[in-house]
Amino acid sequence: MKNIFAVILLFAVTSCVNEIENNSTSLFSDNIYQYSTKNALISNDYTGDLTVGEIKKKGNFGIGTFNMVDGEMVIYDGNVYQVLPNGSVNNMPSDVKSPFVVTKYFEADTTFTISNISLDSLKALFKPLVENMDYPFAIKIDGTFESLKSRSVDKVTDESISLEQIVANQTVFDFTNVDGKVIGFWYPQYFDGVNFTEYHLHALLNNFKGGGHLLDCKFVGAVVEIDFASGVIVEL
């Protein structure tokens, strides 16, 4: 069981986003909510007390995993999905628990379209933004993929198995000509240890027949939305 201790980080809006108009009328928090940390996860702390029902009260969008690293979590449109190594996708019940979650009420601050571009090329387009960015933001991409490579991992039997060993035994999926969504976050380097720095992205196919931790992809065409957070709440 984790000790309950909340760390709240609030960010001032910097010049790199002053030109982005935010007409938000949302009644929900604009903070990212995070349960546990990267360091806890890589220290084999695979058991948490945060339920799916509680996750849904913290945000409608995000990523994570389930207790004992039981597959990959994708939170989309208020539902919490589990992507398993056999390729199945489950809409999880409210009593299932998680050791690590990053979630937010997603409301785009800026939107643009892309076409015929790789994931690496898209990250290159983001480079001028992230070079001056000192706080996290959420990313949602909805589109058609020429190719999409993702992974999921098997549930472990005990916490003596390292995260490195779990990933070494990952199941990799290669999809072609599919429609889906990429969901995730970008964190600056000073968050290392608190979270995985730079891009941490998961995928979910529109037909709910695959997804998981995103490894690579090429977009035919897609809509990219970015949601800049006003702060991060970390519950330990």
**120-140 pLDDT, tens digit each:** 999 999 999 999 888 999 999
Mean pLDDT, 10 residues at a time, over the chain (236 residues)? Answer: 58 36 60 97 97 98 98 98 97 98 97 97 94 93 98 96 96 98 97 96 98 98 97 95
Report pLDDT for 71: 98
| Intra-chain end-to-end CA distance of the chain, in Å | 10
Report pLDDT for 209: 96
Residue-range domains of the chain with CATH: 6-104 (3.30.1330.80), 110-227 (3.30.1330.80)
**Residue 171 CA to its chain's centroid (Å):** 19
Report pLDDT for 19: 35
Closest-CA residue to 31 (of 106, 134, 109, 111): 106
Closest-CA residue to 27 (of 111, 104, 105): 105
The contacts of residue 203 (CB under 8 Å, 6+ apart) are 74, 148, 150, 180, 181, 182, 183, 210, 211, 212, 213, 214, 217
Q: How far apart are CA 231 and CA 43, in angstroms?
A: 26
- Angle, CA 93 vertex, CA 193 and CA 35 arms, to 5°: 15
- Angle, CA 93 vertex, CA 140 and CA 197 arms, to 5°: 35
| Rounded-to-10 torsion of CA 77, 73, 218, 197 | 110
Closest-CA residue to 103 (of 183, 3, 24): 183
Helix-strand-coil split of the chain, %, nearest 5 = 15, 45, 40
Report pLDDT for 160: 96
Q: What is the per-residue pLDDT across 82-92, written as a single tens digit (0 to 9) for each?
A: 999 999 999 99
